[in-house]
Structure 1
Amino acid sequence: MEEEWLKLVKGERDEQRLAGLLLVTKFCKAEDQSSVRRVYDALGPHFLYRLLRTAMASGGGGLNDNRNAYLSLSITLLAAFCRVPDIASSEDMLFHIPLVLEVISTRSVLSVLEECYEFLYLVSAASESGFARFFESGGIKMLASQMRSLQDVIVAALARQFAVLHNSLKFEALHLLNAILSSKDSSQLRDAFRLLPQDSWSPNIRIGIMAILQNRVAPAERLQALILAESMVSMYGEDWLIGQVSTNDALDPAPADMCLLLVLEQSRVEIAVLLNELAYLKYEAPLDTSATAEAIFLKRHNVADAYSLVERIIKLISNVEGNDGNLLDEGTLTKLIHQLNETIAVVLEYLEDAKEHGQKKGDDLLASVRIIGSYLAEAPVACKEKVQDLLGYMLSLEGEDEQRPFYAVCFLLPMLSQITMEIEGCKALASCKGLEAVLDCFSKLVGSHAFLVEDNGCIFMACDTIMNLLLKKDKVQIMLDVSAIVDLLKALAHWSENTDEMSSMMMASSICTLIFDYTSEEALLNCPDFDYRTLSSLYLLIARCLASSEQDTKAYMDLSEIVSSGFSRWAHRYPHIRDAVKN
């Protein structure tokens, strides 16, 4: 029978070849790659291209039926041939990508579309050239534009297979999902996914991830499952990690918090492994080799995904009181906090190692400070001794694109604003010269070259930290040099000139009042980088706050008291401020 197929496929006339191909699609098994290869070699690539072009040509009457048949046949054959990896990676198959994308954009027959997507997946996954051609041909944009109508074709079907399969195809589905969701150009796709009903595919993704994380699979596949979880959480929020598996999807429904616990546990393990490997590559492996550089880049990328998941879980815990239905019970919270403590301890060890090796610059170090800051914002006394030992070092770290520390300080401000409410915390920050770092950060946040921040949160936490130390100056030795005072006062003046919010003006006025304790009008005007215009702006700020309405005074009673009592202490050293107050 096979010889008869091949004779027809090798025929001189197109009619013979078509007849042979029809037999091939009926009797040739897809898994029989040797037979598929022989048919492909006998047919040659040019005939398939002509067949596809003929099928796509416009026309009317009875010709449409033939063209639809030719189209279905050609797409079926393309998908079948590409199940052989070396055919899928060939230049001949790459040549068909634009045509198949055109078929998707103009046809709605489900069976044809499914095989079009199979062809595109097989070709783009077979080689880097295949994916590059897919991208260059507008494949990502086309998928995004089609996504709403492809719910049953791609997303729901693939997610379902990811949930129910228990063989190697499960991992293929995992890799495909990650290829779709983790692409650098996936923003359009993610926007389209958000419009789909979550119950059409999202629960199946959760089931598949749980199955991988709680079974013995290769570490690489566990990491891929975490990357997929991070993509889902990025789209739907951290609450996605909590969800009861429907009895329709599982004979033995899993607890609602199982996915959350599994993801955090595996993230902790991955972070420990990845940071250990990253430390080896940075400090012990041969330097200046392309292999080492590539490995470091990959490890940093994977660490970032694991960090992101842990930070999302920290956010989930911080909002637990607002969760409807109290989805996290006390037992679950205890487990989560235990895992988080272990995770943060590992990250602190990584930073300690970096400190010993004199490292102060790197996005991996900055990301490590960020995750530590996220957790310490909720648990400021966690890993207390280690945090205090590394506090000065963490405040000095820079990202790859930074010239001076800034973001590391921002990440730690929530914790700093809390620990400095106590004398011990103030001493810890003062002893490592952390106040200078906070002052510099504050100046960048509100100064004339202000950094873009999401909200005023960082500014007010920096203010709280500064005020906490200044208010305890009698119990904590704080040394402020002239340049630090001048820079801070200039930043306060700029901030007050560019805001109408009473809360900002009261905060700026309070800090200015406390700083005026350290100097005098004469001393400030003798500073080369300070002028009377700046001082006059600060005088007007303080005068406005002193003259604020009774209602404003009640709203900011503590700050108002700081300003009024400070004015009575040092007004004699600032003779021109009385003119501002009188006016």
Structure 2
Amino acid sequence: MGKLGVSESGGDNRDAYLQLSITVLAAFCRVPEIASSEDMVSKIPLILEIMSNGLGSSVTEECYEFLFLVSNTHKDGVSTLYESGGMSVLAAQMSTLPDGSHSVQCAMRLVQLMINKLSLDTINNEHPSELALMVATIAKQFAVLHDAVKFEALHLLVAILSSRYSAPLHEALRLMKDDIWSTFIRVGVMAILQNRVAPAEKLQALVLAESTISIVGEGWLIGQMNLSDTQDLVPADRCILLVLESSRVEVAVLLNELAYLKYEASKNSSSNSESILLKKQNLVVAFSLVERIIKLISNIGGDDEGSVISESTLTKMISGLNETIGVILEYLEDAKDHGQTKGDDLLASVRIVGSYLAETPVACKEKVRELLGYMLSIEGEDEPSPFYSICFLLPMLCQITMEVYGCKVVECLIKLIGPDGRTNDDNGSIFLACDTIMNLLLKRDQIRVQLDDAYFVRLLRALAYWTGDKDDLSVIMMASSICALIFDSTSEEALLQHQSFDRSDLISLSQLIVRSLAICGQEMMSDDAKAEADLHQIVASGYSRWADRFPHIREAVERIQSLLAVCRERGGPLTSISKTLSEKEVPPGKHVHCACCVKWLHI
């Protein structure tokens, strides 16, 4: 058989012998004892060579059957298949196999064997392109078939695409010229969700939808639903409606089951703990889909023209989201009543509530106000104190001003920008926290807020640390504006009386105020500086009110003002502010300043 498989002879007799040999081998391998023999596993490379050379086109089905039977029964079958180039052969040939054929079923099961018995991390790193081609073929079977193989394809796609090792595969799929695979998945997911199938299968379809969105984006939820012109036209927004409704059902069911398991069922059962863990994992998928839909609706809301989502559909979706947020708030209220403040499920609930309220602040207004203090106290499993819950609610907190929430936001900002900052690169959360504190400080007379001085001292030190090595004008102006507003209610003498505040902190804050006033106080301001004019006005007007109570800051400001005046008289050159103390030539920066004063500003 070996000679027949690799010879160049095209004789009819040899083709017939080859066909007969493979057919007989495949038939023999239906007996497990034969399939598991060393003799059979040694023929895997030969069968792959025959397939790759196109010599087995007349016995394709028998080749795939042989490979599957031997790989499935011999302990080294799968590794031999993989090491002999099985991934490349399958990737090249799977797309040519007839839909729903025995050959394509065997090919899919071979892929299943490899990802089950080998390291998916290794497969993803060594064969991402081949795996991407396989995904495209499997996705087609998922879309066009309506039998048990459809569910095999579903489970296989979920295993491949949702793996934590799948980053190389995801990138390979994004680079594919033809993205029809994502359409196939959309059609298949819709078929599962709109038909009467087991709840577990619908959950798998949602997992697949979430994985696909993570690759191609939220726009996947709206798109082509027809695989041919002969099919009845399906509205482009059908998929997003089905995914939202199915996710909402999962959220309601899972939260109800979790509440029962956590607060009413026996807590001594190990199976109970496992069930809670599984339901929390499933809840993550449903929450993620709801949050992605919220994001998509938000983006569509800013671009009504040409939207493929009708107004009636949008209204229906928002109504459904309001109902789901209400269910989540009830779950949080139940947790509050049971004294629960720690848990990733609670933190995830706060996150999705925060995402929705960022877009629709008036939703569930009374219930949100009632639970806001509790939500701000929620911690994740690995958190020593509330942090992420505050970050998730910052967009909403920017719109309200209450003392108790102001303290929590101050604490959150300190954690973000201080020496022990958790997320120094999370500028979105940092600026949201800054906006919230600004709102609180600007309206404190109206709401009569008196925050503990210790909070402000810690915040001032954190702001000085945050801006110490930065030239970003937005950072400098935001920090100096908050400092200017805090200085309204204190003095240099009072600050120095705090044990945690010393003269070096005062010097750092002096430099911050000087930089903000000098940068934006020039006649020739950059475009960036002009954009921060409102914040500069806060700093300038604040300085005029409290300068007498801060002699060190006043001295520093007056010194730089006199230096600038001298430089202007001399026609001093302009250059960008350097991050260093060097006076040598520096490249263009985000704002300009007199070169004669650069060194002094950065002392």
- Where do 1:251-266 residues align within 5 Å? 251-266=231-246
1:314 aligns with 2:294: yes
TM-score (ref. length: structure 1)? 0.82
Larger CA deviation: 262-271 vs 440-449: 440-449
| Partners of 1:68 and 1:137 in 2: CA distance | 32
| Partners of 2:552 and 2:325 in 1: CA distance | 52
> Which of residues 65, 69, 76 is equivalent to 1:76?
65
1:542 aligns with 2:531: no
1:46 aligns with 2:29: no
The CA deviation at 1:286 is 2.3
CA shift in 2, pair 1:43/1:106, >3 Å: closer
| Partners of 1:492 and 1:166 in 2: CA distance | 61
CA shift in 2, pair 1:272/1:337, >3 Å: same
1:135 aligns with 2:119: yes
> Which of residues 173, 191, 200 is equivalent to 1:193?
173
The CA deviation at 1:183 is 1.5
Matched with 1:557 is: 533
CA shift in 2, pair 1:156/1:105, >3 Å: closer
**SS of residue in 2 equivalent to 1:498:** coil
- Where do 1:156-235 residues align within 5 Å? 156-235=136-215
| Partners of 1:270 and 1:176 in 2: CA distance | 22
> Which of residues 244, 254, 259 is equivalent to 2:224?
244
| Partners of 1:48 and 1:470 in 2: CA distance | 79
The CA deviation at 1:224 is 0.9
Matched with 1:450 is: 421
Instruction: Among all aligned residue pairs of Structure 1 and Structure 2, give the percentage whose two residues are the same amino acid.
Output: 51
What do the CA deviations read for 1:212-262 (whole angstroms, capped 9, x no partner)? 111111111111111111111111110111113346166211111110111
TM-score (ref. length: structure 2)? 0.80
The CA deviation at 1:386 is 0.8
- What amino acid is aligned across from residue 93 of structure 2 in structure 1? L
CA shift in 2, pair 1:247/1:173, >3 Å: closer
| Partners of 2:80 and 2:34 in 1: CA distance | 23
- Where do 1:468-487 residues align within 5 Å? 468-487=439-458
1:352 aligns with 2:360: no
Q: Does the 8 Å CA contact 1:398/1:404 hold for their aligned counterparts?
A: yes
**SS of residue in 2 equivalent to 1:392:** helix
CA shift in 2, pair 1:140/1:510, >3 Å: closer
- What amino acid is aligned across from residue 173 of structure 1 in structure 2? A
Matched with 1:530 is: 501
- Where do 1:29-428 residues align within 5 Å? 39-41=31-33, 45-52=37-44, 76-80=65-69, 88=72, 92-101=73-82, 102-104=84-86, 107=89, 110=93, 122=109, 133-135=117-119, 138-147=122-131, 150=133, 154-246=134-226, 248=228, 251-320=231-300, 321-322=302-303, 325-417=306-398, 419-420=399-400, 426=401
The CA deviation at 1:270 is 0.6
- What amino acid is aligned across from residue 507 of structure 2 in structure 1? S
CA shift in 2, pair 1:167/1:571, >3 Å: same
CA shift in 2, pair 1:175/1:57, >3 Å: closer
- Where do 1:10-29 residues align within 5 Å? 22-23=23-24, 25=26
The CA deviation at 1:137 is 9.7
Matched with 2:484 is: 513
| Partners of 1:526 and 1:160 in 2: CA distance | 72
Q: Does the 8 Å CA contact 1:104/1:116 hold for their aligned counterparts?
A: no
The CA deviation at 1:376 is 0.7
Matched with 1:10 is: none
Q: Does the 8 Å CA contact 1:107/1:113 hold for their aligned counterparts?
A: no
The CA deviation at 1:166 is 2.0
The CA deviation at 1:570 is 2.3
CA shift in 2, pair 1:262/1:107, >3 Å: closer
The CA deviation at 1:140 is 3.9
The CA deviation at 1:387 is 0.8
CA shift in 2, pair 1:145/1:269, >3 Å: same
| Partners of 1:538 and 1:276 in 2: CA distance | 52
- What amino acid is aligned across from residue 281 of structure 1 in structure 2? L
**SS of residue in 2 equivalent to 1:319:** helix
What do the CA deviations read for 1:271-294 (whole angstroms, capped 9, x no partner)? 111111112222222224332222
Q: Does the 8 Å CA contact 1:521/1:575 hold for their aligned counterparts?
A: yes
- What amino acid is aligned across from residue 147 of structure 1 in structure 2? L
The CA deviation at 1:195 is 1.7
**SS of residue in 2 equivalent to 1:245:** coil
The CA deviation at 1:167 is 2.3
**SS of residue in 1 equivalent to 2:209:** helix
1:492 aligns with 2:475: no
Tell me the number of residue pairs that the alignment of Structure 1 and Structure 2 aligns.
529
The CA deviation at 1:564 is 2.5
What do the CA deviations read for 1:458-507 (whole angstroms, capped 9, x no partner)? 11111111111111111213222132111011011112212212222221
**SS of residue in 2 equivalent to 1:253:** coil
- What amino acid is aligned across from residue 534 of structure 1 in structure 2? D
| Partners of 2:545 and 2:377 in 1: CA distance | 35
The CA deviation at 1:203 is 1.3
What do the CA deviations read for 1:280-320 (whole angstroms, capped 9, x no partner)? 22222222433222212211111111111111111111111
CA shift in 2, pair 1:106/1:192, >3 Å: closer
What do the CA deviations read for 1:323-364 (whole angstroms, capped 9, x no partner)? 773222322221121111111111111111111111111111
The CA deviation at 1:80 is 4.6
The CA deviation at 1:75 is 5.0
Q: Does the 8 Å CA contact 1:539/1:580 hold for their aligned counterparts?
A: yes
**SS of residue in 2 equivalent to 1:381:** coil
The CA deviation at 1:139 is 3.7
| Partners of 1:230 and 1:136 in 2: CA distance | 20
- What amino acid is aligned across from residue 49 of structure 1 in structure 2? V
CA shift in 2, pair 1:198/1:415, >3 Å: farther
The CA deviation at 1:125 is 5.3
Q: Does the 8 Å CA contact 2:251/2:283 hold for their aligned counterparts?
A: yes
CA shift in 2, pair 1:237/1:65, >3 Å: closer
CA shift in 2, pair 1:19/1:336, >3 Å: closer
| Partners of 1:569 and 1:369 in 2: CA distance | 40
| Partners of 1:438 and 1:514 in 2: CA distance | 16
The CA deviation at 1:457 is 1.6
| Partners of 1:318 and 1:534 in 2: CA distance | 42
